[in-house]
Structure 1
Amino acid sequence: MKPPVSPPALPLPQALSDEDEAALSDLFRKGTPENTLRAWERDLLYIAAWKRARFGAELAWPEEERVALRFVLDHAVDLSDTPGPAQEAALALIGAGLRRTLDCPAPATLDRRIASWRAFHRMRNLPSPFEAPLVAAARIKARRAAAKPRQPKSPRPLTREVLERLLATCDGTFRGLRDRAILMLAFASGGRRRSEVTALYREDIGTADFAARGLIWVRLLETKTTRKDEAPRLPLKGRAAVAVMDWITQAGISAGPLFRPVSQADRVLARGLRPDALRHILRHRLKEAGLPEDYATPHGLRAGFLTQAALDGAPLAAAMKLSLHRSVVQAQKYYADVEIEDNPATDLLG
């Protein structure tokens, strides 16, 4: 076994420059989603640190093609058994907490960092070095070399059958009321992401139509595919609407965060849930239902919604209106995962 290699003590940037901070602020004013801004900031910090470690220089605008090419090549191979400047730079990034291992990064990670780098070139109205033919060709080869079978974000989709098992474990305590409401809202409103659910406020829930129609409206101020000025309103009806209204009424939620922590004494706290709270709630309910805690992740609710829509014969376009997928190709994958014998089209003659 090879002895562990200590990361070299290289001075790496721990914060963005004033110019980059100003650029981020400009993007924010233009209405870029906050999650995208955070991703760009992390990526730019990584890229700046990599160039400092690899070339001993700061980022240039526009960046040189040779630097862009080297970035692609350094992130297209496993550096564990490849001593040299690329490995030394990677070790420096690990020492700075910006990289985890010397393994070859996933193609999606490389693509995202390059997309962030290109975005900052566009902000400055500068040509991107990644458009150069040699760099573009290297990206294609790197992606093919590192390609792996697509791994789902959740081991299994939480379809209606499984969700019913989880809901059956939710009793009449505040914790049970909250967990029932949050799981049903996340599933029935189109398979919401955990960050979207935990960010909801009471003011985002429209209840004017509940008494007459059993319908409530869920406003999402910001999602992965929409901005604050495009806040969609999604309908929630039936049992899901009743579950949310039961939680609001019995917990006395008149304003502020919609979903909140519940103490061990079954007391509803004033603050909102943390972004990863849905993961803990789901793991608890899976265990209570007699399933492994790692049976599914919160994304299983999103995958389960689309999978159930396919099983029930709902048109893809109709499901996408709730899930807010922009890519038909991406949404279609869930429909394609449905076993052929379960496809409703096989029952056209009964």
Structure 2
Amino acid sequence: MKTALPLPSYAALSAEDEAALTALYTRGTPANTLRAWERDLAYIAAWKAAVFGKPLIWPEDDRVALRFVLDHTLDLTDRPGSAQDAAMELIELGLRLSLACPAPATLDRRIASWRAFHRMKNLASPFEAPLLKQARAKGRRAAARPRQAKSPRPIDRKLLETLLASCDNSLRGLRDRAILMLGFGSGGRRRSEITSLYRDDIGTEDYATKGLIWLRLLETKTTGKSDAPRLPLKGRAARAVIGWIEAAQITQGPLFRSISQSDRALPRKLAPDAIRVILRHRLRLAGLPEDYATPHGLRAGFLTQAALDGAPLAAAMKLSLHRSAIQAQRYYADVEISENPATDLLG
């Protein structure tokens, strides 16, 4: 095998070109993804410092990458040694929760972040090596655990109606009703997708004639600004959103806003975590525990209800914007088989 020769100086990127490439890469990446990368990189850097007493290098050494995989596919509770010592240090720093083996998905995400920074620097990642791929595959099987739902239960139509019944005609009630109905009715929107909406993202050209409004999602987990989807919202959900807009007199700026104690709409947008606070408040008013469901329950509930109503998976995915049919299919598979519409084909 021939050894690759170093590039001549005239063929290498200048520092300015590398900076421009990094800036371009960053601008084309959703803000939530960037934040996740940064958190993961902080964890990885702290782990390497704890294990090797050295900072990260680019590209990273294969042995460091392999050690990272091995240390994160073991339960370190009863395994004294350097790996456990490093994990304890990370726990003290607040970067790790326990000595238990991290979920395979957590390891995969951190490796993906590490690889992303290599790509950003136009460098080869050590995780492409066959040995690393094999170690990851074996570690994933060894640490496999039952899939945990992101919400204790889906917010299906029945639960949604219970929550909506707690919403009065105050501005807070109108806002919360619009948030819940938009989040469910437009395909199960994520928290950040709801709070990122602006008044200009709501198209009302078909509302008077068809009772239909259009949502423009400039940035989601699976789409970017260049291919921003427009999704329909019909019936009660559309009326709830229009009712909120008219009552709060929103002509521009953020669609969903904070409400003052005097029930006045403030100009600032909601933080993504505000959806969790709103949902907990509505659950409490409905006489349910605050942890009965989480915001992801809107997304799970949309797909679950679609399955219960016999909607084709492909049709539901056009609204949920799932890229993977396998992932979306899980919600259909979770529906109690006795409730499956296919069991009533003969009436």
Answer yes or no: same fold by TM over 0.5: yes
- Partner residue, 1:118: 115
* Kept in 1: contact 2:217–2:228 (CA 8 A): yes
Counterparts in 2 of 1:50 and 1:151: CA distance versus 1, 3 Å: same
* 179-188 or 333-342, which deviates more: 333-342
Give the Cα–Cα distance (whole angstroms) in 2 for the partners of residues 63 and 250 of structure 1.
56
Deviation at 1:20, TM superposition (A): 10
Task: Report Cα offsets for 1:280-303 as digits up to 9, x if no partner.
Answer: 111111122222221111111100
- Partner residue, 1:38: 35
- Partner residue, 2:148: 151
* Kept in 2: contact 1:33–1:226 (CA 8 A): no
Give the Cα–Cα distance (whole angstroms) in 2 for the partners of residues 23 and 287 of structure 1.
49
- Partner residue, 2:132: 135
Partner AA of 2:330 in structure 1: K
Deviation at 1:220, TM superposition (A): 0.8
Moved runs in structure 1, 4+ residues, more than 4 A?
19-24
Give the Cα–Cα distance (whole angstroms) in 1 for the partners of residues 171 and 22 of structure 2.
41
Matched, 1:217 2:214: yes
Matches within 5 A, 1:10-21: none
* Kept in 2: contact 1:154–1:297 (CA 8 A): yes
State which of 189, 192, 196 in structure 2 corresponds to 1:192. Answer: 189
Matches within 5 A, 1:226-265: 226-265=223-262
Matched, 1:165 2:162: yes
Matched, 1:283 2:280: yes
Give the Cα–Cα distance (whole angstroms) in 2 for the partners of residues 152 and 296 of structure 1.
11
Matched, 1:106 2:86: no
- Partner residue, 1:96: 93
- Partner residue, 1:28: 26
* Kept in 1: contact 2:183–2:189 (CA 8 A): yes
- Partner residue, 1:8: none
Aligned residues: 332
Counterparts in 2 of 1:232 and 1:167: CA distance versus 1, 3 Å: same
- Partner residue, 1:85: 82
- Partner residue, 1:205: 202
- Matched residue of 1:218: which SS? strand
Question: Taking every aligned residue pair, what percent have the same amino acid on both sides?
Answer: 74
Give the Cα–Cα distance (whole angstroms) in 2 for the partners of residues 321 and 271 of structure 1.
31
Structure 1: where are the runs of 5+ without partners? 1-18
Return the TM-score normalized by structure 1. 0.90
- Partner residue, 2:48: 51
* Kept in 1: contact 2:22–2:120 (CA 8 A): no
Give the Cα–Cα distance (whole angstroms) in 1 for the partners of residues 177 and 95 of structure 2.
38
* Kept in 2: contact 1:24–1:37 (CA 8 A): no
Give the Cα–Cα distance (whole angstroms) in 1 for the partners of residues 50 and 24 of structure 2.
28
- Matched residue of 1:67: which SS? helix
